[in-house]
Amino acid sequence: MHASVHRLESLLEQAGHLTGNTPPAGTPASDYLRAVRESLEIHAAPLLRAVHNARRLLREELAPMLADPSGATDPEMVTRDLADDLDQAWVKAQDLSRAVSIVRTVSNDFTGDDLRQARLEGAVLAGVRWNASTAWPEAWEPRIRRASTPTDEEPGVLVIAAEPCNAAVSAEV
């Protein structure tokens, strides 16, 4: 098999491994994760179909044609079909990427929220976005400020880092 066909097959196989395991049921977090998964599957399913179609075309038509160039198959038609399938996969991958970005933003954006009653013990806060109007539990606020850094994109918005900083950071604009 030609190296380019092998490389394309490898990339399509990687794209085909997008789905994961369903989170265990029974907790509010798993309900949220299930809702996120269902939302992303709306975008992932068409991508997986486009990848499947491209892989089938690659295996069943293009690879045999390259192995026996004297065959009856029209190489231009096969190449055009494969290019169309790959274009569809690209568009669907962009849709999925945008959906993932939206989920990440919604999952980590606590700007302006009142979290004073939140139980934060054991919560992974790295990546959480907040601002001066976000209200934290009183005992947590100094720790949150030490662990936060300003974002470059939005003035007044901070992100909790994985490691605490040496000094408290102001959330004021």
Strands of 158-160's sheet, edge to edge? Answer: 129-130, 158-160, 148-150
- Per-residue pLDDT of 48-99, as tens digits, reads 888 888 888 888 877 777 777 676 667 777 778 878 878 888 888 888 888 8
pLDDT score of 132 more than 80: yes
pLDDT of residue 19: 47
Top pLDDT among 150 and 57 is at 150
End-to-end CA distance of the chain: 60
Top pLDDT among 148 and 18 is at 148
pLDDT of residue 2: 61
H helices of the chain, where? Answer: 3-15, 28-57, 63-67, 75-108, 141-146
Give the whole-number percent of the chain exceeding pLDDT 90.
15
Query: Whole-structure pTM over 0.85, yes or no?
Result: no
Among 2-16, 55-69, 112-126, the range scoring the smallest mean pLDDT is: 2-16
Q: How many domains, in total, are found in the chain?
A: 2
Same domain? 100 vs 127? no
Residues whose CB is less than 8 angstroms from the CB of residue 9 and which lie 6 or more positions away in sequence, other chains included: 1, 55, 58, 59
Whole domain around residue 156: which residue ranges? 109-173
Tokens of 104: 């990440």
Same domain? 12 vs 64? yes
Same domain? 121 vs 99? no
Same domain? 114 vs 100? no
pLDDT score of 101 more than 50: yes
Same domain? 131 vs 148? yes
Amino acid at 141: E
> Which among 95, 92, 94 has a CA at the least distance from the CA of 49?
92
Same domain? 85 vs 141? no
Same domain? 100 vs 119? no
